[in-house]
Chains A and B, each alone.
Chain A
Amino acid sequence: MTLDILYFAWLRERIGLPRETVTTEAATVADLVAELSAREDRYALAFSDLSAVRVALDQDLADFDAPLAGVREVAFFPPMTGG
């Protein structure tokens, strides 16, 4: 499957790009994170503490054990600081 992956705030800075398209067979968000982390150090560094990372699937907040089947867009970002 092909996914658009978006990164925001310090995740975007650490990984060094705002978005990319990846082809993956990852079944869950956690599998995708493991796959990206294995790719390069900058990903491993960005995902080293998942308690500081939030994920959205097709623009809805989700958990790391959520399945990716049918998903088009995955976004990773730190806890939000609006207001």
Chain B
Amino acid sequence: MDPSHGFLFPNELHITWTVMIVLYPYITGMVAGAFIVSSFYHVFGMEKLKPIARFALVSSFAFLLFATVPLLNHLGRPERAINILLTPNFNSAMSGFGFIYMFYMIIVFLEIWFSYRVDLIERYEKSRGIVKFIYNIIILGNTNDNENTRKYDKKIIVFLGGLGIPVACVLHGYVGFLFGSIKANLWWSTPLMFIIFIFSAIVSGLAVLIFLYLFIHWRRKKVINQESIDLMSKWLWGFMIIAVTLELMEILSISYERTEKWAILSKLINHELKISYVYLQIGLFSIVPFLMLTVTSLFQSLNNNLRNSLIWLSSGLLLLQVLFMRWNVVIGGQLVSKSMRGFTDYFPGYFDKEGLLVSFLIIITPFILLRLFDKIFPFFGKKELVE
């Protein structure tokens, strides 16, 4: 059976960018968002965020390590991926990707190194044998730790964090630009795209940190730092309002202008993406967490347990919201025929090379890696155990 309906150009029967390209902006979004959150403490000195700053930084790194995996899995010739660094075509929006990505990776790596240096020296001194040798390599044989070195480390961290914020915005805004600059695609082509991507990145970064922070603390029965959770949840509330509003404003302006493309895009929204966009992304995953966060942000009298449950639930829903947003942008845009006369259909398949199982594994690996990081360098102090 022909899965498409209406008229498609013959080459449009299969979409080119699969669910792997949905995962890439999803993961980099969390990278950029988590980094920006960590910088609020490191650079702007928001003490309330101290308990989460390191965790945010390492999360950013863990996601960053896996951000290119879906891309490599999707490339037709992954063994040639290095060409993007060797022969970049600077007319292309995509060509800077490798450089920005590497630059950002270096910044995050250095910032982690400097913020963990003191702990590493401590561990070096306590350990023996081969472990001591490994630690010695990691700290580059430098065991200096005093007032001055700590001050210096802090200075560097502030510098790297400050430099990292615009780079994080570029890294992710740039992904939005990759889509927004494609004039051939009616659903993507808008200058708002990269702004929407930045805000949704911050939403997903905040959401993943809150989600994991509360989850870990509940599981380990540790005391939750209510101040930082309250602050983060308020930010989550604010940033999700901006992100969702921007996206709706974009659609409002297309629909109000009623240019040629609205005829087909209205069908896209009302039929092809009705469930994934209207019901799920906007309805269940935006309006519901918006209402919950409104309650937790405005009603201070709420008891902490209920408040944290609502915050945790809405951060989980917002994580899904951003995932659906990526899906609706990346896949939705490709469903529309460039003939403006029809739609194709897409399902990734369960066990395909670019199917749902592989997607799940790619999404889950950074979380497993985070768990391992936590084993080596605990993110949260041990003394906060509930009595």
Bound pair (A, B): no
Interface residues of A, Cβ cutoff 8 Å to B: none
